[in-house]
Amino acid sequence: MDIHEYQAKELLARHGVNLPRGGLAYSPEQAAYRASEIGGERWAVKAQIHSGARGKAGGVKLCDSDKAVKQAAEEMLGKRLVTHQTGPEGKLVNRLYIEETVDIAQELYLGFVLDRKAERIMIIASSSGGMEVEEIADKEPESLIKTVVDPGHGLQEFQAREIAYNLGLEYKVVNRMVDTILGCYRAFRDYDGSMLEINPLVITGGGSVMALDAKMSFDENALFRRQEISELRDKSQEDPRETFASDRGLSYVGLNGEIGCIINGAGLAMATLDMIKIAGGEPANFLDIGGGASPDRVAKSFRAVLQDENVKVIFVNIFAGINRCDWVAEGVIKAKKEVGVSLPIIVRLAGTNVEKGKQILADSGEDIIVADTLKEGAEKAVKAWKDAGGTKAAA
């Protein structure tokens, strides 16, 4: 789960991270008031969306007067901001963060991420702030400083100090940088973060260390114990298809094709997407119904897939172990009747109670296409998709 910049900064402030003064605005008038409330002579007006690279897309504007702040807010609010991370559809801007500008002497990069290979928290720092980390790794790989945190001991002060020294900071700034790194680590750890990025982290002309930007993501599997964090969720920034599915406990990722997929198991799901592509089609989604798929859960999966108006065919591919093929078959019939699925449905069942499941489908009287293998199912799904007028062919 992602949160907005201003929300991430509020969490970091609780752990002692130094920030410029700022305030939230939902209207041009409120934006101008925030600027006068903050004081000073120059402000940054920042669109609050779940995406990086906002500045390059016109989502961050520097203003020298209340009038300019109001004008910038007029231009941003209610518009869709398109960055290289949002895709062509962009993200709707419905709130702004107004922040004082600071005297920047040096820009740095600081990030925290879960390294799944090492099964540790990885800290990445660079003296080349303001650039995307991928760009830094490509153009200045020698500037990247990587530190692994032992989960048994947590981040130690000597490790934070080593990062500060490796960044080439002046001695008088080192202690402030150490406090900032430790504060960021505590926020990342205490809220079950999966990613924290401060870019840029700046040294001001007066020697202060400040986070000018902040992006933070959290482990959704831990939100049950982080009610305060789960309440920061902004569904307007999410794919509505994925929101619908996640609210119903389904693992769903929206794609750009027209063949809807309902599958159990992430590995089988990935193999199914590949097989659809090989057969010449384009999958519309990744959806893993998980174990213990009751008829009701299968019906919910159909509803989730049908949230995508582009879907022309639904391919159900189940290899039952914990699941049972007869449950899945009952769910398909339930969805066909109760959800009102009028699209072609291709079902491939294998594993526990497979014969019983196939018999249920055969006795239902419903127009359902049955396949015995993954390859056959994918080919039948692609054929049904083409017969339905499919246009988004695989590259």
In this structure, the dihedral spanned by the alpha carbons of residues 296, 302, 303 and 306, taken in order and rounded to 10 degrees, is 180
Whether 216 contacts 195, CB under 8 Å: yes
Whether 190 contacts 121, CB under 8 Å: no
Residue type, 366: E
Whether 246 contacts 290, CB under 8 Å: no
Q: Counting Cβ atoms within 10 Å, is residue 370 exposed (0-12), middle (13-18) or buried (19+)?
A: middle
Which bin fits 329, alpha (ψ -120 to 50), beta or left (φ > 0)?
alpha
Q: Which of 97, 109, 185, 252 is catalytic?
A: 109
| Residue 6 is a catalytic residue | no
Q: Which of 5, 185, 197, 242 is catalytic?
A: 197
List the structure tokens of 11: 């969490």
| Residue 197 is a catalytic residue | yes
Task: Check whether 107 is labelled as a binding-site residue.
Answer: yes
Query: Looking up tokens 């101008």, which residue turns up?
Result: 32
Task: Check whether 264 is labelled as a binding-site residue.
Answer: yes
Query: Rounded to the nearest 5 degrees, what angle is found at the Cα of 291, between the Cα atoms of 290 and 293?
Result: 85
Query: Looking up tokens 């305060």, which residue turns up?
Result: 228
Task: Check whether 46 is labelled as a binding-site residue.
Answer: yes
Task: Check whether 166 is labelled as a binding-site residue.
Answer: no
Which residues contribute to the annotated binding site for Mg(2+)?
A: 199, 213
Which residues contribute to the annotated binding site for ATP?
A: 46, 99, 102, 107
Which residues contribute to the annotated binding site?
A: 46, 99, 102, 107, 199, 213, 264
Q: Which residues are known catalytic residues?
A: 109, 197
